A and B are shown apart, each in its own frame.
Chain A
């Protein structure tokens, strides 16, 4: 795997990959916006009979495969913001919990 190694350890490649990540972050946000404001043809056809009236069980399934049941899901980049914030909260919160309460030396139980 030497070729992969020399390629991956090259600082230029690392930089390129970081840019690629930034690019993909922007792209998925744009995709979210596009998906929100330009619903698919199939979706539009669906809108007619799912306007909160025919709540039989089967309709409910169809409605929810595309429709978001919660208000915040209408925000096109909700998942992006949620992912980033939760990642930070989880990471820092867990470490704070660990350092203050439960993390101990490895021989804790042998002492």
Chain B
């Protein structure tokens, strides 16, 4: 690091800042909470381009400061939006929630400025663990459950990422450099999977619309900004040249994603889940932009990357604002379903205005920031002459305006008045919304403010979003979508349902899994335990008098096989009775009273066995087997003869 001004990693500001939060109370805490993002904004502004903050770790070097246009652009929007969101969350009393939020923001900034794969992984995991508390702090059963599902998915993603990193280290001879991966191999595909789980690419996206609507009011606002956008950042950083057999899969995945989120949003009734599906859709534009960059060369590729970064920047602002608006509705009315809302513009006019600013931004209305960022990606698709992608993205734009810009506000703020008593949220929430709304409009009116900090400023230098053709086309698209909405208003009425998504597989799958554990697996375990007890009991019984026990068992077997029970003995007993007697008297006299000759015989026998044992290595297998068979049969024969004699 050079220069006179000393900067520190912005991640450290938030992470150390988070740990000091419990020291403050009341007004002082609020001031302290606001101070941290402000310090971070100044810090990011002063950070100079270059690579610094090396930290030795085992035999590797962690790099915490890789600062270039790309990472700085994401750094800017993260710290700016952190300030707006901290304002919004200022009234929250729960200390832990603030700590979780700041750890989460700090680790997201850590990923953005990380220069090696280990740091990326560590911050990646901290991000997942910190953010899950933003879900759990809602303290409802649905939130606890959703939080656990969220965590499971992210832990799986983290393991895939770690596996990929280790394989990559083997491939590259121990390098942990976090740069572009332009070829497909097991390592890069595992890393890609780890990244696209966080980017919520279908079918790995279901954690997002599952968990975000269950988070706390303010927690959900934080979550919209960081998890998916750090994923976009790492994808831009490392997969913007990635193709499999020349096919830029991210382009197609992104376009499908954009449409997928739109379709589910149309079906949704819960306002925050509707907006969560639009995160999937909007991140689809960004993933698609990365794919376009991978499938093209030169200025078009650079433009696609600029579009992706610009859209991520704008998306963080307007999506945060949308969730702030929806959160304000839930906070003030206690209701989150469109079927229960209506006519709120009368009681929450400021919330309605802020929400509409964000809704017009996400819909790409002129003068709002979505217009100047989304269009770059669509424009790059057009310059690539990729009609399919171009049309898919345009359809997604129509669907976005339909759900977020028309359906949600119509049924929540206008429509049938259900007479909810509420008012606008507290001042701090309004200030947070105001900051985000101001930035949405500012960037829409002065796009060059954003265009100048993009990774390739020259690629978008000539791009004019307000060219007459584009402006008129957008107005046509939006106004006729509005007309279409009015036509379909009855059909699009929200319904009191939930929509099944790919989380069905693990939510219903887990039910089957639990059944499998409770039934076959638990029973199997019981059987093993029972069998073990039977064996133990038998061994205990057997060891009391092995010779007698062996005699009883052999006699019983012989009796059953040879069926020699008809005759009677001298004392008028059947053979069965005799054996039963022996078993009743078991263990009886543990020592056998035999004539001395028997002992001599046994001694001779064991000596003979020992002889065979010594000789065995020199005998062939067959001889040994035959000898054994002879011994067994002789024994059985002697015994049978004795029994026949006894049975008379």
Within 8 Å by CB of B477, from A40, A64, A82, lies: A82
Whether, in the assembled complex, A68 has its beta carbon less than 8 Å from a beta carbon of chain B, the answer is yes
Task: Specify which chain A residues have a CB less than 8 angstroms from the CB of B483 in the assembled complex.
Answer: 21, 25, 84, 87
User: B497–A105 contact, CB under 8 A?
Assistant: yes
Which residue of A5, A28, A60, A105 has the most chain B CB atoms within 10 A of its CB atom? A28
Task: Specify which chain B residues have a CB less than 8 angstroms from the CB of A68 in the assembled complex.
Answer: 382, 469
User: A87–B479 contact, CB under 8 A?
Assistant: no
Task: Specify which chain A residues have a CB less than 8 angstroms from the CB of B476 in the assembled complex.
Answer: 28-29, 32, 77, 79-80, 83
Mostly, the B contact residues are helix
State in angstroms the CA–CA spacing of A104 and B507 once bound together: 14
User: A21–B479 contact, CB under 8 A?
Assistant: yes
Within 8 Å by CB of B266, from A24, A64, A90, lies: A90
The B-contacting residues of A in range 66-95, CB under 8 angstroms, are: 66, 68-70, 73, 77-84, 86-88, 90-95
If A58-B299, A83-B481, A95-B492 touch, does A88 touch B487 (CB 8 Å cutoff)?
yes
Whether, in the assembled complex, B611 has its beta carbon less than 8 Å from a beta carbon of chain A, the answer is no
User: A104–B497 contact, CB under 8 A?
Assistant: yes
- Determine the residue in chain A with the shortest Cβ distance to B299: A57
- Determine the residue in chain B with the shortest Cβ distance to A69: B382
If A66-B469, A104-B497, A105-B497 touch, does A28 touch B475 (CB 8 Å cutoff)?
yes
Task: Specify which chain B residues have a CB less than 8 angstroms from the CB of A24 in the assembled complex.
Answer: 479
Task: Specify which chain B residues have a CB less than 8 angstroms from the CB of A57 in the assembled complex.
Answer: 298-300
User: B300–A102 contact, CB under 8 A?
Assistant: no
User: B498–A108 contact, CB under 8 A?
Assistant: yes
- Determine the residue in chain A with the shortest Cβ distance to B269: A106
If A79-B474, A95-B266, A102-B500 touch, does A69 touch B491 (CB 8 Å cutoff)?
no
Within 8 Å by CB of A32, from B398, B473, B492, lies: B473
Tell me, rounded to whole Å, the shortest Cβ–Cβ distance linking A62 to chain B.
6
Whether, in the assembled complex, B537 has its beta carbon less than 8 Å from a beta carbon of chain A, the answer is no
Whether, in the assembled complex, B402 has its beta carbon less than 8 Å from a beta carbon of chain A, the answer is yes
Tell me, rounded to whole Å, the shortest Cβ–Cβ distance linking A17 to chain B.
11
User: B266–A91 contact, CB under 8 A?
Assistant: yes
How many residues of chain A are within 8 Å of chain B by beta carbon? Answer: 51
Tell me, rounded to whole Å, the shortest Cβ–Cβ distance linking B405 to chain A.
11
State in angstroms the CA–CA spacing of A79 and B398 once bound together: 10
Whether, in the assembled complex, B478 has its beta carbon less than 8 Å from a beta carbon of chain A, the answer is yes
If A69-B385, A87-B402, A90-B395 touch, does A106 touch B477 (CB 8 Å cutoff)?
no
Which residue of B395, B479, B497 has the most chain A CB atoms within 10 A of its CB atom? B479
Interface size class of B (residues with CB under 8 A): 35 or more
Task: Specify which chain B residues have a CB less than 8 angstroms from the CB of A95 in the assembled complex.
Answer: 266-267, 491-492
Whether, in the assembled complex, A37 has its beta carbon less than 8 Å from a beta carbon of chain B, the answer is no
User: A82–B266 contact, CB under 8 A?
Assistant: no
Whether, in the assembled complex, B68 has its beta carbon less than 8 Å from a beta carbon of chain A, the answer is no
User: B500–A108 contact, CB under 8 A?
Assistant: yes
State in angstroms the CA–CA spacing of A28 and B468 once bound together: 12
User: B345–A91 contact, CB under 8 A?
Assistant: no
Whether, in the assembled complex, A31 has its beta carbon less than 8 Å from a beta carbon of chain B, the answer is yes
- Determine the residue in chain A with the shortest Cβ distance to B407: A91
Tell me, rounded to whole Å, the shortest Cβ–Cβ distance linking B400 to chain A.
10
Within 8 Å by CB of B485, from A28, A29, A87, lies: A87
- Determine the residue in chain A with the shortest Cβ distance to B263: A94
State in angstroms the CA–CA spacing of A29 and B483 once bound together: 13
User: A64–B383 contact, CB under 8 A?
Assistant: yes
User: A5–B262 contact, CB under 8 A?
Assistant: no
User: B267–A84 contact, CB under 8 A?
Assistant: no
Whether, in the assembled complex, A54 has its beta carbon less than 8 Å from a beta carbon of chain B, the answer is no
User: A83–B480 contact, CB under 8 A?
Assistant: yes
Whether, in the assembled complex, A45 has its beta carbon less than 8 Å from a beta carbon of chain B, the answer is no
- Determine the residue in chain A with the shortest Cβ distance to B302: A57
State in angstroms the CA–CA spacing of A69 and B469 once bound together: 12
State in angstroms the CA–CA spacing of A40 and B471 once bound together: 14
Q: A31-B472, A88-B487, A102-B499 are known contacts; what are 13 more A-B pairs with Cβ within 8 Å?
A: A4-B349, A21-B482, A28-B479, A82-B477, A83-B479, A87-B483, A90-B263, A90-B399, A90-B402, A97-B263, A103-B498, A104-B497, A104-B498
10 residue pairs bridging A and B, Cβ less than 8 Å apart:
A1-B345, A1-B346, A4-B345, A21-B486, A28-B476, A29-B476, A65-B463, A77-B476, A79-B477, A106-B497
A interface list, Cβ under 8 A from B: 1, 4-5, 21, 24-25, 28-29, 31-32, 35, 40, 57-58, 60-62, 64-66, 68-70, 73, 77-84, 86-88, 90-95, 97-98, 101-106, 108-109
B interface list, Cβ under 8 A from A: 262-264, 266-267, 298-300, 303, 345-346, 349, 379, 382-383, 385, 387, 390, 394-395, 398-399, 402, 459, 462-464, 467-469, 472-488, 491-492, 495-501, 507-508
